[in-house]
């Protein structure tokens, strides 16, 4: 089926080449990082994780979109998700791929990455995170690919795929829980030391992932003949609305606990992120944008009247996505490091090479997603009840050329 | 049966080298004589085979067309799968030789409830690519043993190959990939019924042999740790035609060398020659331009044909009756009038008489 | 040869004859005895020069095994005391790895690159470290440093007897295990002229036990349950 | 004739392989799976060796010459020296098995010797034994085996169960082409007079009478008159084709099946109507009245002997160039062999469409243009007035013929034409079309009656794909550009997918073609009422 | 192959078609028809005779549509249909009627 990704329209190839170019730039800067060291980034002794781990954290959430489709479709037999579910699974594949890459590029000694497997250390949450992430990647690839392959053959998928699908549900929950535990189990990092960390992760994951999926589904519908279904998209919108509500609620819980208890350690991070601390406050604008987008998008999504308008749904989805991208990609990680164990504020801001490497990884993710979606769309178009009129892509293009 | 036989032969080869070196002390035979013979056989054999193929004529342009032909200018030609130019052919061959493009197309059919379905089947391609490329890189890495100073590209290759810093000495990934891929290729011969059915001893033997070569290589690098300085002394001696047998190089090395020598000797006589043959395959290396450019057949010869005159001779009367023009000017009398009339009826000019 | 990696770790617990051994190493820092800036510098330099600590000249890249900071930063949670002696407020405190009883850094390491020895020393295997910096996030004391870039060009004078590190790995104070093995006290202790006491906590007659039983000491962030093993004798204003 | 099992039974194909190795499993001649042996008079006609009355049943005496083994081995030797393909394909197969399930005859029969690799191994084993050092020394271990009568009969059985469709070659990493091996295998068999009656007959007919059906000149004329009558009935226009006319601009050569059998005749009517509408200065030939080359199913030499007529006739008639009809093996021959065999055709001009002025650069040496190229060019230039709605009662799919697909690559031209002459076009699953197309199961001389089960089995994968679009989209018309298809597919469809009809592309072109001065059409070329007219009457 | 009839041996091809056209006569035709399970009636003879006449002129059996059309012309519209011919010769006029008429089976792409 992979060969489907090797043929496509001019627009498809332009997009692929664009991504490859971005990847190329990112790779060049990564080589630079590889030879110079992570000093090329904005990270420091005090803020020792930055944008890389932030993106990783955010993308774990995005990977969740699949399960929000899998549960209704497989557990509750919600047929309207029959077409969109593969998009969720492949999005998960792409997101987890990026997660792994972000971990990889964040490593000081990437060539020793296999040490995690060669010296397995079950007491480390990182070990479990690697395990659940690879497992989730595998599950989604296998489930998605097999289902699609069977569809192409015109046969129902083998029975074991259903078993895997059921396994994938708790597994998806586990990737967020375990990722939350990476942070929530550290002494002396008050911002992270919260019992509802995992719950917050899940809530934001179930909002950000499906929000992205809505956007992607709309794009897919626009660029191909494959329509995941208007109702399916609406239903996903509802999921985003609930999840976003939970997410904002959880954030409120944290704020209350910190400020009502008035324990300085609990407050510092919030202070820094939203109001500034010791005269530092580089993230303040971003965090407020995130907050405002969260509230606005929530308002748009909660009210069915606005949510049902597709354009508004699209805007709200973008807002949710951006809001959570800031919240997880920047605020959560950096907030955990500020102030540092000495109570000092050392600020962090990504450097240009760092940002370009991040962009490169996103481009890889987008490429993986493009390829997987291309395959899925091609298969769907082929097996659709309403067929493509003719297979004359080449001629159509040539005709265009003659008109020009 | 073929598998067992091949397995036993490889084991015997290992034993021969082991006994020859460890017990009989024939280091110079296994370290010098046999390698020389092997390399010579390999070179002469491969050259002979390739020349033999190359000299045999390609009487007809029989490219397998895998896509749209070059046709009207507004119809998009499949330039790689149905090349009409040398560039296209080169592109097709490069993709074929380096990326196994045809194998990439592989599918697996399935019959269920009277319906045939075709699924993607890329594992063979994956394993084949992994196998051939890692084998090639492993070979290139061995240049280290045959050149002083070691060419820089070999060092680059080793750095990339040992990118994942596992163990000391660093684990070369290609060695592991080679072994895994060859194992997969072997297992599919055991477990895929159709492949098992077509497999011959000559299919199992190279797999076992290469498996043994990779295994002995890995064993001597990571486990038995042969004296690398001694090995290099020996290999440099071979290339400089000044062969020496340094003391203290482990028997495993000689086993490895003997197996490699066996592979070299076996190569030109076996299907392994597909390495050279793939370049010469007329269904792939010819352009499909035979309507544009005449392809000459070196052994073209005249054949007996049934000429028009013979044909007309047989059917002249019937043709005339049917009003079909004829060539002959000598008409049977009774047809003379009728014929002219008929031809005129048909609106065809009567043949001008010379 | 013949020693695999697991045995290599075990071997570190088999002391050479003449090595200093202990049930649990600990250190008492008598803050009162650091009088001049020189007292700190001597201690820190002793460590830095022996262990090939680079000097990047930029705080972002800094590698610190032993260093000083103010009371406010060493004990950020104690700082609510606004009326403490002004001298104490300005006084530099010697900081280093606490070699915790219950080290979070060891708990989180995904490759066992950092581990705790039976004698309490928290070690770092820079050859196994993958540079994920999870330990840095986990350490509540900021005792771990990461090689953000190649340290070698920034080592003022290389000590050939001690390995240098590569970029991309985490490192930290090791209580000078290499010196203990040779029967020597840690470099800082040796250079401190008695301001730093080092010894076996499990030995009731050890110097550290004596110091602890005769002085009131505090430890950094003991409330986190990490069980830090660096004790600070602070004393009163007259100590300044 | 063997009773053909019901489709439900036939589609239960057992892919289980015998316990014993294939060398130890002697060939079993199953009724319905092979053809009759060639009659002596056919072989005599073309001076082929060993003409005799014989039965192709395995157990009977095949009446071979005493020195048959020597003839075979010499024949092999000669061909090893003459064809790089043969020697190379014998040498380099690694038996990876990628081709195994690509062959429609394996998919349809489950007989492992129909896996292309094993079909090749049937002769490769003999090559190894007699022509390689390893085989001479190691015998079976090196994959060699003795040439016995049983082996020879096995060759005959399996080389006439291969339609030379080249599907295996597309998937083979070295491009090993079983068609090439089968062709050479058949050449060698023909040295002993081992042909099938169905091939030998058409060969003799083609040789003597110019076409494989043996239509004599006046018969052709009469058939055309008949078709012209039908055309007049449908359109009110009288077409007046000419035969053997000197000085015409174009010589048109079509498969003779189109002059004789339905639905080929409708395709032929299509040509006639199109050319009439264009006012094309063209002629038919009764001497070169066959596009298809049945000689190529026999030997390269016989192929050349039959192919000779086309250029010879073009030269005799003094035409400028040649146009070729919808035929499969004809085009493989034109594309790959004709110029080499009987060229250079320097007495002809590079073909230029007199209607559009398009110069067919891709045919500048053979001087022979495929009618799909010709018509696609006409449509592209807007030279045809078309009413696709006349084909609205048809839901159409297109079957790529193996020869035009994999021995030429004419894929988009017919699709472009179809797209313009009808409104409902549906592709079959992509693994079954274009270069991956499945053969009709009757190509390369397998289109006899006595081997019906083989044909139905070999056609099973194709039929399966048709069934898919039939059930999914209601496809009821299977189009193609091959006369063997038009002869074989109706049987195949009747058996596997009742309700699907078969037509050549130019039948549908002519249906849609709005001709100058035509009467209002109420019938299609099959003289069946056009759907909308029925509808109009009902209103 | 072949068959015996009235003490004479008739050579046929593998499918039972007479090899020598001169061997044919009405009795032989009846005999072949019997083996095919057909009782020859006037209607059957009409077809067979037409085939033989056509063959005499064209050396081949006619196209089915010619057969139908000519039958229509000669014997009326009710006899000029495929269905009618199949009713007479269930295995198909091309195969069965030709066999009875002693004509060779048309071989080729038809």
CA dihedral of residues B10, B13, B17, B19 (deg, nearest 10): 110
Axis crossing angle, helix A51-62 with helix A85-106, rounded to the nearest 10: 160
Q: What is the CATH number of the domain that holds B136?
A: 1.20.950.20
Give the SS3 label for residue A41. coil
Query: Which residue, among B97, B174, B172, has the nearest Cα to B135 in the 3D structure?
Result: B174
**B312, part of any domain:** yes
Q: Are residues B116 and B222 in the same domain?
A: yes
Q: Would you say residue A22 has pLDDT above 50? A: yes
Q: Given the residues E8, E39, E41, E109, select the one marked as catalytic.
A: E109
User: In angstroms, rounded to a whole number, what is the distance separating the alpha carbons of residues D332 and D409?
Assistant: 10
Judged by CB atoms closer than 8 Å, whether chains meet at E58 and D205 is answered as no
Give the SS3 label for residue A33. helix
Task: Give residues 166 to 225 of C whose Cβ lies within 8 Å of A.
Answer: 166-170, 221, 224-225
Q: Are residues B336 and B275 in the same domain?
A: no
**Any A CB within 8 A of C138 CB:** yes
Q: Would you say residue A177 has pLDDT above 60? A: yes
Query: Could you write out the DSSP letters of every residue in chain C?
Result: ----HHHHHHHTTSPPTT----SSEEEEEEGGG--SHHHHHHHHHHHHHHTT----SSGGG---SEEEEEHHHHSGGGTT-TTS-HHHHH-EEEEE----SS-HHHHH-TTS-EEE-TTS-EEE-TTT-----HHHHH-TT---EE-SS--GGG-SS--TTS----TT-EE---TTHHHHTTTPPPHHHHHTTTSEEEEETT-TTSHHHHHHHHS-EE-TTGGGS----EEEE---GGG-
pLDDT of residue C3: 43
> Residue C202, exposed/middle/buried by CB under 10 A (0-12, 13-18, 19+)?
middle
pLDDT of residue D61: 94
CA distances C145 to A178, C172, C186, Å, are: 26, 6, 19
Judged by CB atoms closer than 8 Å, whether chains meet at C136 and A106 is answered as no
pLDDT band of residue B297 (cuts 50, 70, 90) is very high
User: In angstroms, rounded to a whole number, what is the distance separating the alpha carbons of residues A325 and A331?
Assistant: 9
pLDDT band of residue A404 (cuts 50, 70, 90) is very low
Average pLDDT over residues D400-429: 95
| Alpha-carbon gap: B334 to the closest alpha carbon of chain D (Å) | 18
Q: Would you say residue A392 has pLDDT above 70? A: no
Q: Please say if E98 is a catalytic residue.
A: no
Nearest residue of chain E to residue D2 (CA atoms): E15
pLDDT of residue B350: 44
Q: Are residues B269 and B158 in the same domain?
A: yes
User: In angstroms, rounded to a whole number, what is the distance separating the alpha carbons of residues E106 and D201?
Assistant: 10
Phi first, then psi, for residue D55 (nearest 5°) are: -115, 135
Q: Would you say residue E27 has pLDDT above 60? A: yes
User: In angstroms, rounded to a whole number, what is the distance separating the alpha carbons of residues A110 and A38?
Assistant: 11
Long-range contacts of C158-162 (CB under 8 A, 24+ apart): C158/C52, C159/C49, C159/C50, C159/C51, C159/C52, C162/C50, C162/C51, C162/C52
pLDDT of residue D525: 93
A202-218 residues labelled b (16+ CB within 10 A) or e (exposed) = bbbbbbbbbbbbbbbbb
User: In angstroms, rounded to a whole number, what is the distance separating the alpha carbons of residues A302 and A312?
Assistant: 12
**Any B CB within 8 A of D474 CB:** no
pLDDT of residue B349: 46
Rg, C-alpha atoms of chain B = 32
User: In angstroms, rounded to a whole number, what is the distance separating the alpha carbons of residues A200 and A331?
Assistant: 13
> E touches C (3+ CB pairs < 8 Å)?
no
Q: Would you say residue A121 has pLDDT above 70? A: yes
**B351, part of any domain:** no
Rg, C-alpha atoms of chain A = 22
| Alpha-carbon gap: D313 to the closest alpha carbon of chain B (Å) | 8
User: What's D334's DSSP letter?
Assistant: I
Average pLDDT, chain D: 93
User: pLDDT tens, A261-283?
Assistant: 988 888 888 999 989 888 888 88
Average pLDDT, chain A: 88
Domain range for B333 is 308-345
Whether the ω angle into residue B169 lies within 30 degrees of 0, i.e. cis, is yes
User: What's B64's DSSP letter?
Assistant: P
Query: Could you write out the DSSP letters of every residue in E31-85?
Result: HHHHHHT----HHHHHHHHHHHHHHHHHSSPPPHHHHHHHHHHHH-GGGSSHHHH
Query: Which residue, among D197, A98, D491, has the nearest Cα to E15 in the 3D structure?
Result: D197
**A393, part of any domain:** no
| Alpha-carbon gap: D396 to the closest alpha carbon of chain A (Å) | 11
Query: Which residue, among D293, D299, D279, D358, has the nearest Cα to D324 in the 3D structure?
Result: D293
Chain centroid to CA E73:
19
| Alpha-carbon gap: D407 to the closest alpha carbon of chain E (Å) | 20
User: In angstroms, rounded to a whole number, what is the distance separating the alpha carbons of residues D311 and D305?
Assistant: 11
Cα atoms in the Cβ-side hemisphere of radius 13 Å centred on A66: 31
Share of chain C above pLDDT 90, in %: 60
Reading phi first (left if > 0) and then psi (alpha if -120 to 50, else beta), residue C225 is in left
User: pLDDT tens, B61-97?
Assistant: 999 999 999 999 999 999 999 999 999 999 999 999 9
Beta bridge partners of C30: C233
Query: Which residue, among D148, D370, D354, D165, has the nearest Cα to D253 in the 3D structure?
Result: D370
Average pLDDT over residues C110-126: 92
Token pair listed for B295: 């392809």
pLDDT of residue B340: 60
Q: Would you say residue A396 has pLDDT above 50? A: no
User: Under a CB-based contact definition with an 8 Å cutoff, are residues A99 and A232 in contact?
Assistant: no
Most confident of A153-162, A197-206, B9-18: B9-18
Share of chain B above pLDDT 70, in %: 93
Among B105, B112, B122, the residue with its CB nearest the CB of A155 is B112
**Any A CB within 8 A of C74 CB:** yes
In chain E, residues with a C-beta closer than 8 Å to the C-beta of D223 are 63, 66
Give the SS3 label for residue A337. helix
In chain E, residues with a C-beta closer than 8 Å to the C-beta of D267 are none
ipTM of the predicted structure? Answer: 0.86
In chain E, residues with a C-beta closer than 8 Å to the C-beta of D202 are 107-108
**A403, part of any domain:** no
Among A154, A391, A394, the residue with its CB nearest the CB of D427 is A391
Q: Which sign does the torsion angle of CA B80, B86, B87, B92 carry?
A: positive
Judged by CB atoms closer than 8 Å, whether chains meet at D419 and A392 is answered as yes
User: pLDDT tens, A202-224?
Assistant: 999 999 999 999 999 999 888 88
CA dihedral of residues A114, A115, A120, A123 (deg, nearest 10): -120
pLDDT of residue B335: 58
Substitution target from E55, E67, E109, E110 for chain D, most D beta carbons within 10 A: E109
Domain range for A231 is 2-384
pLDDT of residue D25: 92
Among D15, D88, D336, the residue with its CB nearest the CB of B53 is D88
Judged by CB atoms closer than 8 Å, whether chains meet at A391 and D415 is answered as yes
Q: Would you say residue C236 has pLDDT above 70? A: no
Count: domains in chain B: 2
pLDDT band of residue D251 (cuts 50, 70, 90) is very high
Q: Are residues B58 and B93 in the same domain?
A: yes
Judged by CB atoms closer than 8 Å, whether chains meet at D216 and E60 is answered as yes
**A394, part of any domain:** no
User: pLDDT tens, C173-229?
Assistant: 999 999 999 999 999 999 998 899 999 999 999 999 999 998 889 999 998 999 999
User: Under a CB-based contact definition with an 8 Å cutoff, are residues D358 and B72 in contact?
Assistant: yes
Give the SS3 label for residue A393. helix
* Domains along the sequence of chain E with CATH: 2-100 (1.10.10.370)
Q: What is the CATH number of the domain that holds A213?
A: 1.20.1630.10
> Residue C61, exposed/middle/buried by CB under 10 A (0-12, 13-18, 19+)?
buried
Residues from E in contact with D at Cβ < 8 Å: 1, 13-15, 57-60, 63-66, 69, 95, 105-110
**B303, part of any domain:** no
User: pLDDT tens, B248-276?
Assistant: 888 999 999 999 999 999 999 999 999 99
Average pLDDT over residues C31-58: 90
| Alpha-carbon gap: A151 to the closest alpha carbon of chain B (Å) | 9
| Alpha-carbon gap: E109 to the closest alpha carbon of chain D (Å) | 5
Beta strand segments in D306-420, E: 321-324, 368-370, 396-398
Chain centroid to CA C129:
19
Chain centroid to CA A155:
32
pLDDT band of residue B25 (cuts 50, 70, 90) is confident
Among C136, C170, C226, the residue with its CB nearest the CB of A187 is C226
D251-284 residues labelled b (16+ CB within 10 A) or e (exposed) = bbbbbbbbbbbbbbbbbbbbbbbbbbbbebebbb
Count: domains in chain A: 1
pLDDT of residue C17: 78
CA distances B67 to B81, C123, D102, D169, Å, are: 5, 64, 17, 13
User: Under a CB-based contact definition with an 8 Å cutoff, are residues B129 and B99 in contact?
Assistant: yes
What angle (nearest 5°) sits at the alpha carbon of residue E109, between those of residues E105 and E110?
60
Judged by CB atoms closer than 8 Å, whether chains meet at A387 and D473 is answered as yes
User: Under a CB-based contact definition with an 8 Å cutoff, are residues A395 and D416 in contact?
Assistant: yes
Among D98, D115, D169, the residue with its CB nearest the CB of B124 is D98
In chain E, residues with a C-beta closer than 8 Å to the C-beta of D233 are none
Share of chain D above pLDDT 70, in %: 98
User: In angstroms, rounded to a whole number, what is the distance separating the alpha carbons of residues E28 and A53?
Assistant: 96
pLDDT of residue A388: 46
Of residues D316 and E64, the one with the higher pLDDT is D316
Chain centroid to CA C41:
15
Chains that touch C (3 or more CB pairs under 8 A): A
> Edge to edge, what strands does the sheet with D477-480 contain?
D396-398, D477-480, D501-504
User: In angstroms, rounded to a whole number, what is the distance separating the alpha carbons of residues A311 and A237?
Assistant: 12
**Any B CB within 8 A of D471 CB:** no
Query: Could you write out the DSSP letters of every residue in A215-265?
Result: HHHHHHHHHSS----HHHHHHHHHHHHHHHHHHHHHHHHHHHHHHHHT-HH
**B80, part of any domain:** yes
C78-110 residues labelled b (16+ CB within 10 A) or e (exposed) = ebeeeeeeeebeebbbbbbbbbbbebbbbbbbb
**Any B CB within 8 A of D176 CB:** yes
Of B260-269, B335-344, C193-202, D514-523, minimum mean pLDDT range: B335-344
User: pLDDT tens, A303-350?
Assistant: 888 888 889 999 999 999 999 999 988 899 999 998 888 888 999 999
Give the SS3 label for residue B119. strand
User: In angstroms, rounded to a whole number, what is the distance separating the alpha carbons of residues B241 and B142?
Assistant: 18
């Amino acid at each position: 089926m992979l060969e489907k990704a090797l043929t496509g329209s001019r627009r498809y190839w332009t997009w692929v080449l664009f991504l490859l170019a971005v990847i190329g730039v990112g790779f060049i800067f990564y080589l630079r990082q590889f030879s110079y060291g992570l000093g090329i980034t904005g990270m420091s002794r005090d803020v020792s994780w930055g944008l890389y781990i932030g993106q990783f954290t955010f993308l774990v959430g995005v990977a969740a979109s699949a399960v929000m489709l899998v549960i209704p479709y497989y557990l509750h037999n919600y047929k309207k998700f029959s077409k969109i579910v593969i998009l969720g699974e492949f999005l998960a594949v792409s997101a987890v791929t990026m997660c792994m890459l972000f971990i990889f590029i964040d490593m000081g000694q990437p060539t020793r990455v296999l040490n995690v497997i060669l010296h397995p250390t079950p007491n480390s949450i990182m070990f479990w995170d690697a395990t659940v992430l690879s497992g989730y990647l595998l599950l989604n690839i296998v489930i998605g690919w097999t289902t699609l392959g069977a569809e192409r053959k015109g046969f129902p998928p083998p029975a074991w795929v259903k078993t895997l699908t059921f396994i994938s549900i708790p597994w998806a929950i586990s990737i967020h829980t375990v990722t939350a535990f990476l942070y929530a189990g550290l002494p002396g990092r008050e911002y992270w030391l919260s019992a509802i960390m995992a719950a917050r992760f899940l809530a934001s994951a179930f909002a950000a992932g499906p929000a992205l999926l809505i956007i992607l589904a709309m794009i897919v519908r626009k660029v191909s003949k494959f329509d995941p279904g208007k109702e399916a998209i609406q239903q996903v919108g509802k999921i985003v609305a609930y999840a976003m509500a939970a997410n904002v609620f959880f954030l409120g819980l944290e704020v209350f606990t910190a400020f009502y208890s008035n324990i300085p350690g609990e407050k510092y991070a919030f202070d820094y992120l939203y109001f500034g601390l010791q005269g530092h406050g580089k993230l303040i604008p971003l965090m407020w944008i995130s907050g405002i987008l969260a509230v606005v998008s929530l308002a748009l999504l909660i009210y069915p009247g606005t949510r049902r308008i597709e354009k508004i749904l699209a805007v709200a989805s973008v807002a949710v996505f951006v809001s959570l991208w800031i919240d997880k990609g920047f605020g959560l990680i950096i907030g955990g490091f500020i102030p540092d164990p000495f109570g000092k504020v050392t600020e962090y801001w990504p450097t240009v090479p760092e940002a370009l490497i991040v962009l490169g990884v996103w481009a890889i993710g987008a490429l993986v997603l493009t390829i997987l979606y291309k395959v899925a769309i091609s298969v769907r178009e082929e097996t659709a009840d309403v067929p493509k009129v003719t297979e004359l892509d080449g001629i159509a293009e040539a005709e265009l050329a003659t008109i020009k | 049966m073929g598998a067992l036989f091949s397995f036993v032969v490889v084991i015997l080869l290992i034993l021969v080298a082991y006994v020859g070196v460890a017990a009989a002390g024939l280091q110079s035979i296994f370290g010098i004589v046999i390698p020389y013979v092997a390399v010579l056989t390999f070179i002469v054999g491969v050259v002979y085979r390739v020349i033999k193929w190359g000299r045999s004529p390609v009487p007809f342009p029989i490219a397998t067309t895998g896509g749209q032909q070059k046709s009207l200018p507004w119809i998009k030609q499949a330039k790689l799968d149905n090349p009409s130019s040398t560039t296209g052919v080169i592109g097709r061959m490069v993709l074929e030789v380096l990326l196994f493009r045809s194998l990439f197309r592989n599918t697996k059919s399935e019959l269920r409830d009277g319906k045939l379905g075709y699924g993607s089947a890329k594992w063979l391609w994956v394993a084949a690519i992994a196998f051939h490329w890692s084998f090639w890189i492993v070979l290139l890495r061995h240049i280290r043993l045959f050149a002083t100073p070691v060419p820089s590209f070999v060092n680059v290759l080793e750095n990339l190959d040992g990118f994942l810093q596992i163990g000391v000495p660093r684990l070369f990934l290609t060695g592991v990939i080679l072994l895994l891929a060859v194992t997969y290729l072997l297992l599919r011969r055991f477990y895929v019924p159709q492949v098992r059915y077509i497999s011959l001893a000559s299919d199992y033997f190279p797999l076992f042999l290469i498996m043994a070569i990779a295994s002995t290589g890995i064993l001597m690098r990571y486990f038995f740790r042969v004296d690398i300085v001694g090995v290099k002394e020996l290999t440099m001696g071979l290339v400089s035609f000044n062969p020496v047998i340094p003391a203290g190089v482990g028997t495993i090395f000689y086993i490895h060398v003997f197996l490699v020598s066996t592979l070299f000797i076996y190569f030109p006589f076996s299907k392994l020659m597909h390495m050279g043959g793939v370049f010469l395959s007329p269904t792939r290396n010819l352009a499909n331009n035979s309507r544009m450019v005449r392809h000459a057949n070196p052994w073209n010869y005249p054949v007996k044909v049934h000429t028009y005159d013979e044909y007309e001779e047989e059917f002249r009367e019937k043709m005339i009756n049917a009003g079909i023009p004829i060539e002959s000017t000598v008409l049977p009398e009774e047809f003379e009038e009728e014929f002219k009339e008929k031809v005129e009826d048909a609106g065809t000019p009567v043949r001008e008489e010379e | 040869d013949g020693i695999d990696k697991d045995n290599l770790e075990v071997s570190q617990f088999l002391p050479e004859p003449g090595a200093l051994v202990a049930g649990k190493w600990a250190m008492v820092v008598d803050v009162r005895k650091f009088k001049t800036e020189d007292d700190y510098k001597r201690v820190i330099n002793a460590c830095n020069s022996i262990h090939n600590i680079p000097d990047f000249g930029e705080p972002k890249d800094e590698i610190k095994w032993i260093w000083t900071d103010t009371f406010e930063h060493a004990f950020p949670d104690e700082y609510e005391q606004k009326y403490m002696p002004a001298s104490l407020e300005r006084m530099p405190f010697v900081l280093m790895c606490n070699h915790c009883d219950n080290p979070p850094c060891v708990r989180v390491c995904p490759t066992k690159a950092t581990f705790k020895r039976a004698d309490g020393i928290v070690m770092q295997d820079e050859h196994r470290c993958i540079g994920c910096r999870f330990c840095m996030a986990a350490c509540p004391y900021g005792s771990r440093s990461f090689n953000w870039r190649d340290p070698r060009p920034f080592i003022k004078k290389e000590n050939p007897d001690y390995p240098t590190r590569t970029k991309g790995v985490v490192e930290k104070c090791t209580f000078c295990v290499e010196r203990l093995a040779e029967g020597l006290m840690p470099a800082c202790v040796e250079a401190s002229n008695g301001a730093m006491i080092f010894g076996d906590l499990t030995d009731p007659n050890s110097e550290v036990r004596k110091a602890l039983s005769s002085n009131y000491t505090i430890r950094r962030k003991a409330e986190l349950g990490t069980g830090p093993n660096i004790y600070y004798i602070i004393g009163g204003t007259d100590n300044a | 004739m063997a009773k053909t099992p019901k489709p439900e039974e036939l589609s239960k194909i057992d892919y289980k392989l015998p316990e014993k190795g294939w060398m130890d499993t002697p060939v079993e001649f199953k009724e319905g799976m092979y053809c009759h042996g060639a009659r002596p008079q056919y072989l005599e006609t073309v001076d082929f060796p060993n003409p005799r009355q014989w039965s192709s049943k395995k157990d009977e005496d095949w009446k071979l010459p005493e020195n048959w083994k020597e003839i075979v081995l010499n024949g092999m030797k000669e061909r090893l020296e003459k064809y790089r393909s043969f020697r190379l394909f014998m040498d380099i197969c690694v038996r990876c098995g990628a081709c195994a399930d690509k062959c429609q005859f394996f998919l349809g029969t489950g007989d492992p010797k129909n896996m292309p690799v094993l079909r090749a191994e049937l002769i490769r084993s003999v090559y190894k034994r007699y022509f390689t050092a390893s085989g001479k020394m190691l015998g079976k271990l090196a994959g060699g085996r003795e040439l016995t009568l049983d082996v020879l009969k096995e060759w005959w059985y399996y080389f006439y169960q291969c339609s030379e469709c080249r599907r295996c070659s597309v998937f083979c990493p070295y491009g090993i082409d079983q068609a090439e091996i089968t062709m050479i295998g058949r050449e060698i068999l023909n040295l002993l007079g081992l042909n099938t009656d169905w091939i030998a007959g058409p060969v003799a007919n083609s040789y003597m009478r110019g076409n494989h059906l043996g239509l004599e000149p006046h018969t052709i004329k009469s058939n055309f008159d008949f078709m012209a009558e039908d055309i007049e009935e449908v359109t009110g226009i009288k077409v007046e084709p000419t035969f053997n006319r000197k000085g015409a601009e174009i010589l048109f050569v079509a498969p003779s099946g189109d002059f004789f059998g339905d639905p080929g005749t409708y395709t032929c009517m299509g040509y006639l109507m199109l050319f009439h509408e264009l006012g094309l200065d063209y002629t038919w030939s009764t001497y070169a009245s066959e596009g298809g080359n049945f000689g190529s199913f026999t030997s390269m030499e016989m192929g050349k002997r039959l192919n000779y007529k086309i250029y010879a006739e073009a030269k005799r008639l003094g035409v400028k160039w040649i146009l070729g009809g919808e035929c499969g093996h004809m085009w493989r021959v034109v594309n790959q062999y004709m110029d080499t065999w009987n060229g250079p055709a320097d007495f002809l001009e590079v073909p230029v469409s007199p209607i559009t002025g398009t110069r067919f650069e891709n045919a500048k040496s053979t001087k022979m243009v495929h009618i799909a190229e010709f018509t696609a060019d006409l449509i592209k230039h807007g030279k045809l007035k078309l009413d696709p709605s006349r084909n609205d009662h048809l839901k159409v799919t297109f079957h790529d013929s193996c020869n035009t697909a994999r021995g030429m690559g004419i894929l988009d031209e017919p699709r472009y034409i179809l797209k313009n002459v009808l409104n409902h076009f549906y592709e079959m699953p992509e693994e079954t079309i274009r270069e991956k197309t499945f053969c009709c199961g009757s190509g390369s001389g397998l289109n006899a009656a006595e081997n019906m089960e083989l044909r139905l089995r070999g056609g099973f994968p194709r039929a399966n794909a048709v069934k898919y679009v039939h059930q999914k989209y209601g496809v009821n018309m299977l189009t193609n550009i091959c006369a063997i298809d038009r002869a074989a597919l109706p049987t195949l469809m009747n058996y596997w997918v009742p309700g699907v009809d078969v037509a050549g592309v130019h039948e549908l072109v002519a249906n849609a073609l709005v001709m100058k001065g035509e009467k209002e059409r109420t019938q299609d070329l099959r003289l069946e009422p056009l759907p909308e007219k029925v509808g109009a009457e009902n209103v | 192959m072949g068959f015996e009839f009235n003490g004479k041996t008739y050579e046929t091809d593998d499918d039972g078609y007479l090899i020598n056209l001169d061997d044919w006569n009405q009795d032989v035709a009846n005999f072949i028809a019997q083996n095919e399970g057909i009782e020859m009636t006037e209607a059957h003879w009409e077809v067979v005779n037409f085939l033989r006449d056509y063959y005499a002129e064209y050396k081949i059996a006619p196209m089915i549509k010619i057969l139908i059309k000519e039958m229509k012309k000669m014997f009326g519209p009710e006899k000029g249909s495929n269905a009618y011919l199949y009713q007479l010769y269930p295995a198909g006029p091309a195969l069965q009627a030709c066999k009875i008429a002693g004509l060779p089976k048309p071989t080729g792409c038809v």
